[in-house]
Amino acid sequence: MKVSPHIAAVHFPPISEVKRWAAERPDDGQILIDLCQAVPDYAPAPELTAHLATLLNDPLLSRYSPDEGLPEVRGAVCHYYERKYGGYLTPDNVCLTIGASQAFWLAMVTLCAAGDEVVVQAPYYFDHPMALDILGIRGVYAPFVEAEGGLPNPATIESLITGKTRAILVVSPSNPTGAITPPDVIQALFDLARRHDITLILDETYSEFIPGGGCPHDLFRTPSWGDHFVQVASFGKTYALTGYRAGALVASQQFIHHALKAQDTMAVCQPRITQHAVKFGTDHLDSWVAVNRDMMCRRHDRFRSEFMLPGNGFRLAASGGFFAWVRHPFSECSGRQVVQKLVDNAALLCLPGEVFGHGLEGYLRLAFGNIHEDAIPEAVRRFREFAI
């Protein structure tokens, strides 16, 4: 059976690819250290799961909700945004989605048609160009500049805008580098989008892991922000609900109105149990989130201090939140070759740089956020002692 040429040309999901290598690895007695997928290694708050348990016998829990989500849940999300961003949203600005990935799809199919262009900062989250390719939307990639920590450069991005450009896409904190785009740069990108009458799409999946928990930007305080700004959000990492698929699309009321046409044909609605989890989290778990943010900051600091000690052939190019972006020392090898050797010879699992952008074969992404702090020295020791 023939498949779409767009999807046939898209590479296989990288995490599935490398996890297969791990599954095929001979048992040599070493415990695999998984630095591949960025998921919290801790459970949701006990009070959240206890609350959900009280709802399981309610027949409504198994039924559809409105496509955009229950009004009381979207209202709770708006109150959360008031606390976090100091900006005022209404429930009509929010569509609850099946994870941030579906929010991104909704944004793309609402904003773009096949043949349109989106300027994407590299290194990018690999699911984004996969979606663009499947939809026939052309990604135009702003290059990674290691000396600038991989942060987006508004002048570079502006030079890539054409008459076909519909949006600028930035992830902050970055997946894969962990780098946090400063508020003034985000403002400059928004001003750039407004000047060219296009849209800034900001994926803030990891925004609750910015040290100190400060406001990531002031865009929601800007009058008419929704004319040129769309946010892709996630509560999955925030409340350790990744399997619940707890995402959101935040945009103007008009944009959400049109996005619901795709939502109804794609997913209908976020599951009610997920919506109740999101509401409980936004209502009650600010302090719990802060404790876990501080824990992740300690892991990051421990990882950096261990990794940057003299004698490590791998070099830290950028890091933050859940991630480290590392240059490997084997210039003759691709990232895939290095990753497979790390799996086979060091029982370390990570992702190759080339899945995050063209020409990035010399890098690896390490997701250290999902291993305990006491496992970090052993992970770093294996990198230090690794040789092909």
Locate the domains of the chain by residue range: 5-43+288-385, 46-285
pLDDT for 388: 56
Helices (H), 267-313: 272-284, 286-307
pLDDT for 322: 86
Q: Mark the ranges of the chain whose per-residue pLDDT is less than 50.
A: none
pLDDT for 387: 66
CB atoms within 10 A of CB 25: 16
pLDDT for 23: 80
Tell me how far apart the alpha carbons of residues 203 and 172 are, in angstroms, rounded to a whole number. Answer: 6
pLDDT for 274: 97
pLDDT for 40: 86
315-320 and 33-34 beta bridge pairing = unpaired
CATH 3.40.640.10 assigned to 46-285: yes
HSE (side-chain half, CA atoms, 13 Å) at 12 = 6
CB atoms within 10 A of CB 159: 10
Matching fold, domains 5-43+288-385 and 46-285: no
pLDDT for 110: 97
Tell me how far apart the alpha carbons of residues 311 and 59 are, in angstroms, rounded to a whole number. Answer: 60
- Sequence length of the chain is 388
Q: CATH assignment of 5-43+288-385?
A: 3.90.1150.10
pLDDT for 39: 83
CB 360 within 8 A of CB 144: yes
Predicted TM-score (pTM) of the model is 0.94
